[in-house]
Amino acid sequence: MKSIKDYVSLEQKFYEGILNRYDVLFEDILTSANVNDFKEIVIYATGSSLNAAYGALPFMNKCLDIPIRIEEPSIIKNYLPSVGNEVLNIAISQGGHSYSVIELVKMLQQQGKKVFVFTSELESPLAKASENIISMGMPVEEMPYVSAGYSVLILDLMLLSLKLAIKTGKLTSDDELNSLKQIQQVVNKMPEVIKSSEIWISKLETKLAIAKRIIFIGYGATYGVAREGETKITETVRISSWGKELEEYMHGPYLGLKNEDIILFIEPNGRLKERANLLKKFLNKYVTNVVTIYANEGSSLENDLQLAVNVPEEFTALFMTIPIHLMSYRLSKLKGIDLTVSAYPDFDQITASKI
């Protein structure tokens, strides 16, 4: 079975494959949906797929300039089932076994709503229950703790929004080319991002290995990265972890900080950078380890990581999770946690969270 590290190393290959054929991948949604009639997009996802949607959200909104909501499938299915007719519904389940997503898709289809389903497993229970399936453009991820699939979903949603924006006349082909150049710049830099991330983790692994809690803070496109940090560290390292949006953390959760926390800022070098700097100024008075991952440059501090990818902030979710996923892999190895073996093999059997 491949590891998280193996899949991180494959992300560049998966990105390139999708860039070479995304017109084909999204042909169904672009031809069968009357996109000019949609006044809103709703994305239904949970777990890492939900985190990926938040990573793509700023770019999608910039392209389409319409309301885009991200919702938990179980909440919509059980408590808010009234979905409008002028909504482009997109449901995501990478493996295609998520009970809540499958049940939501069934409900929407019974209501006569069209819902487009992203999955990498085209023979999964979700795919079999769905009328409109879109391949994510990558093989099924063997590792149960997804990494490449999370990243690929961000790219899929970004490229889909580009195509939808062109079809609705909100962007031109020149706009598409400019965005593709930025994405290609990210793709070209990914081996260097992996290398610098591994060096950085080696430098900090002693501190990280004894951490009782790691708090990830992001904003904009890196809010999804912070959420994914919480998800992956909790799943694989099995310590307490938070993933917070910058202002969300400043409005209460900071009161629960402890000196021994490791606080990790995911800095896209974006419009809220100065707000983040003010928070760091406060935290440095009370916490020993406040560390920042920068998309580009921005620090001379020994423990910070500068990924040296100079792109607008809405593209940063495409690569800024790489050090987080590699961290989860390295720390799980240090703690002797075998990620190929379920910690609780009876969980799905009892809860039926996966079909």
71 exposure class (CB count in 10 Å sphere: 0-12, 13-18, 19+)? buried
The string of DSSP codes covering 143-156 is SSS-SHHHHHHHHH
- Residues 6 or more apart whose CB falls under 8 angstroms from that of 91 comprise 43, 44, 45, 73, 101, 104, 105, 108, 115, 116, 117, 118, 126, 130
DSSP 98: B
DSSP 237: I
Tokens of 199: 């060096």
Numbered ranges of CATH 3.40.50.10490 in the chain:
4-171, 191-334
Position 317 scores a pLDDT of 98
Distance CA 125, CA 140 (A): 14
CB neighbours of residue 249 within 10 Å = 22
Tokens of 196: 């610098």
Position 237 scores a pLDDT of 96
Among 202, 184, 221, 207, CA closest to 321:
221
Position 64 scores a pLDDT of 93
232 exposure class (CB count in 10 Å sphere: 0-12, 13-18, 19+)? buried
CB of 257 closer than 8 Å to CB of 230: no
48 exposure class (CB count in 10 Å sphere: 0-12, 13-18, 19+)? buried
Distance CA 198, CA 26 (A): 34
Position 296 scores a pLDDT of 94
Architecture of the domain spanning 4-171: 3-Layer(aba) Sandwich (3.40)
pLDDT in tens, the chain (355 residues): 789 999 999 999 999 999 999 988 888 888 876 777 788 999 999 999 999 999 999 999 999 999 999 999 999 999 998 888 889 999 999 999 899 999 999 999 999 998 999 999 999 999 999 999 999 999 989 888 999 999 999 999 999 999 999 989 999 999 999 999 999 999 999 999 999 999 999 999 999 999 999 999 999 999 999 999 999 999 999 999 999 999 999 999 999 999 999 999 999 999 999 999 999 999 999 999 999 999 998 777 889 999 999 999 999 999 999 999 999 999 999 999 988 887 777 777 788 777 7
Distance CA 325, CA 318 (A): 13
- Residues 6 or more apart whose CB falls under 8 angstroms from that of 81 comprise 107, 111
How far is residue 187 from each of residues 11, 71, 116, measured CA to CA in Å? 9, 29, 27
Distance CA 11, CA 148 (A): 6
Among 321, 328, 327, CA closest to 307:
321
Q: Which residues pair with 134 in a beta bridge?
A: 118
Fold of 191-334: Rossmann fold (3.40.50)
Position 345 scores a pLDDT of 76
Which H/E stretch holds residue 206?
helix 173-209
How far is residue 95 from each of residues 46, 126, 345, measured CA to CA in Å? 12, 9, 18
Q: What are phi and psi of 301, to 5 degrees?
A: -75, 140
CB of 59 closer than 8 Å to CB of 163: no
pTM: 0.96
